[in-house]
C-alpha cells in the first residue's frame, strides 16, 4: 500500500469541466466588450472613417506600404510604460535585417576570444624573432651554455689529440727499442 494509505492523490479529485454553453457565453461577452471598446474609440476619434482606412492600408499588397508599416510600427504600451522613458539597451526590440541591408564588405568585429587569440599569436611571433636574434634572457642563457659546452669539447679534443700523440711517440720509441734490440 502506498504511503499515506490512499491509492490516488488529492489532485484531480474535484475536477470541474466547462460546459459548451458556458464557453459560448464567455465568447459572446468578449465580443460584446470588444464592440463597446471600438465604439468608444470611434466616438473619441471624431469621424468614424479614421479606423477604416488603416485596415484598407494594411490590406494593400504593395511592398512599399509594408516597409513603411514596419518602420512606423510602435507596440501598444501597457499601463504606465508609455509615459516613462526607459533607457535600457537590452530592452530594445531586435529588428531583423534583410539580406539586401547586410553589408558584407565592411569588416566584422572580432569577439573577445578571437582578439585574444590573435594577440597571443602575434606575441609568440615577436618573442621567437627576439629569441632568434639573441635578445631574450632565455636566448642569452642558451648561448652562454652553448659557449661553455664548445669550450669543454675543444679542451676534450685537445686532450685526446695530446694523448694520441703521446701514445704514438711511446709506441714509436718502443718499436725503435725493439728494432735496436733485434739488430744486436
DSSP assignment of 99-115, as one string? GGG--SSSPPPPPHHHH
d(CA 78, CA 84): 11
Q: What is the pLDDT of residue 98?
A: 79
Look at the block and give the residue holding cell 606575441.
Answer: 123
Hey, which of 1-5, 70-74, 94-98, 107-111 has the most confident mean pLDDT? 107-111
Q: What is the pLDDT of residue 48?
A: 46
Neighbour tally for 138: CB within 10 Å: 11
pLDDT of 28 above 70: yes
Work out the average pLDDT over 8-27: 79
Q: What is the pLDDT of residue 54?
A: 47
pLDDT of 118 above 50: yes
Cα-Cα-Cα-Cα dihedral of 34, 37, 38, 43, to 10°? 160
Can you read off the three cell numbers belonging to residue 120?
597571443
pLDDT of 67 above 70: no
Look at the block and give the residue holding cell 704514438.
Answer: 168
Hey, which of 82-86, 96-100, 104-108 has the most confident mean pLDDT? 96-100
Q: What is the pLDDT of residue 183?
A: 67
Q: What is the pLDDT of residue 161?
A: 95
Cα-Cα-Cα-Cα dihedral of 75, 81, 84, 86, to 10°? -70
**32-46, 84-98, 113-127 — which is least confidently predicted?**
84-98
Q: What is the pLDDT of residue 116?
A: 96
| Percentage of residues of the chain with pLDDT beyond 90 | 36
**b/e for 73-104, b at 16 or more Cβ within 10 A?**
eeeeeeeeeeeeeeeeeeeeeeeeeeeeeeee
pLDDT of 56 above 70: no
Amino acid at each position: 500500500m502506498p504511503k499515506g494509505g490512499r491509492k490516488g492523490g488529492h489532485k484531480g479529485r474535484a475536477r470541474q469541466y466547462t460546459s459548451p454553453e458556458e464557453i459560448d457565453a464567455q465568447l459572446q461577452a468578449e465580443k460584446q466588450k470588444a464592440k463597446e471598446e471600438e465604439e468608444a474609440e470611434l466616438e473619441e476619434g471624431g469621424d468614424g472613417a479614421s479606423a477604416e482606412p488603416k485596415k484598407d492600408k494594411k490590406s494593400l499588397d504593395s511592398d512599399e506600404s509594408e516597409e513603411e508599416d514596419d518602420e512606423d510600427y510602435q507596440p501598444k504600451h501597457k499601463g504606465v510604460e508609455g509615459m516613462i522613458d526607459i533607457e535600457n539597451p537590452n530592452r530594445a526590440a531586435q529588428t531583423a535585417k534583410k539580406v539586401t541591408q547586410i553589408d558584407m564588405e565592411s569588416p566584422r568585429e572580432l569577439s573577445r576570444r578571437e582578439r585574444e587569440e590573435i594577440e597571443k599569436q602575434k606575441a609568440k611571433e615577436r618573442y621567437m624573432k627576439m629569441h632568434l636574434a639573441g635578445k631574450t634572457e632565455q636566448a642569452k642563457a642558451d648561448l652562454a651554455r652553448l659557449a661553455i659546452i664548445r669550450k669543454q669539447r675543444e679542451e676534450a679534443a685537445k686532450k685526446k689529440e695530446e694523448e694520441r700523440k703521446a701514445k704514438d711517440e711511446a709506441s714509436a720509441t718502443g718499436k725503435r727499442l725493439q728494432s735496436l734490440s733485434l739488430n744486436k
